[in-house]
Structure 1
Amino acid sequence: MKHEKIRKNGEFQVVYRRGRSFANHLLVLYVFKNRRNQIQGVPYNRIGISVSKKVGKSVVRSRVKRLISESYRLNKEVFDTGYDFVIIARVSSHDKSYAEIEKSLMHVFKKAGLKNDEKNTVTIN
């Protein structure tokens, strides 16, 4: 949904400066607890995705962004709520499949302690 995206540079900067970072070989995750992310008292997450020009040309960067956002969308029920996330794709992610990106995303969220294992996950083979 529209309110779940981080778009402004200032919002990215807040997450970079005040958040914590977790990384693996494909992704870097910045996490910032945001108490303002609530609709009628129910907390929700916001996500921003950043892919550097070092990853590749615009077609490749867009593909990586789509893979990350789709794997987040299909698994967002398993993540804790009330946070701002910024996900940065590393150069090595340019030629990876959806399954590899999803596995990497789940790993970095588990590393951050934000993944609830009791909820069902959706995977596409």
Structure 2
Amino acid sequence: MDNPAGQAKATQSFPKTKRVIRGGDFQIILRQGACAADNCLVVFAVAQSHQATSAAAHGKRLGVTIPKKTGNAVARNRWKRLIRESFRTQQDKVPEGYDFIVRPKKGARPTWKTIQRSIPKLTQKAVRRLG
């Protein structure tokens, strides 16, 4: 059966191949990546290496890190859901070929509107800072 709604869902999915999962990848991005921030989020970016063996090579990947100082588990999970959903729905506005780590700014409150506005702006700003 042809299901146009199912096809749209598949193109807007957010599989594990589009996520930064390994701790070593997080360390590389946080240490070597360029940083951009606003009053809500901090974004680190690094170009993907040509030796990458994952299926997401030459695409874009997202990692989310939420410090425990941000709040309890409910608050941290809310941040993660909002950041991932914003990244997923705005993939066309995010530069290709880069890995990103996103974390909330200290003292910020998670609102959908500010996260939606911040993700594309900060990812592009961080990529420009890479050179």
What TM bracket, shorter-length normalisation?
0.7 to 0.9
2:30 corresponds in structure 1 to: 16
Q: What's the CA shift for 1:113? A: 5.0
Mapped pair 1:50 → 2:65: yes
Amino acid at match of 1:45: K
Show the counterpart of 1:97: 111
Partner of 1:123: none
Matched letter for residue 7 of structure 1: I
Decide whether aligned partners of structure 1 residues 37 and 26 sit closer, same or farther in structure 2, where only a CA change above 3 A counts: farther
Percent identity between matched residues is 29
Larger radius of gyration: 2
Match of 2:12 in 1: none
- Match of residue 20 from structure 2: 6
Structure showing the higher helix proportion among its residues: 2
Gaps of 5+ in 2: 1-14
Q: CA RMSD in A?
A: 2.1
Q: 1:112 to 1:38 in 2, by over 3 A?
A: same
TM-score calculated relative to the size of structure 1: 0.79
**Unmatched tracts of structure 1, length 5 or more:** 115-125
Deviation (angstroms), 1:28: 0.8
Aligned counterpart, 1:117: none
Matches within 5 A, 1:70-109: 70-93=85-108, 95-109=109-123
CA distance in 1, matches of 2:71, 2:38: 19
In structure 2, C-alpha distance between the alignment counterparts of 1:105 and 1:24, rounded to whole Å: 10
SS in 1 for 2:69: coil
Q: Which residue in 1 is equivalent to 2:77? A: 62
TM-score when normalising by structure 2: 0.76
> If each structure's strand is expressed as a fraction of its own residues, which one has the higher value?
1
Deviating beyond 6 angstroms after TM superposition, the runs of 4 or more aligned structure 1 residues are: none
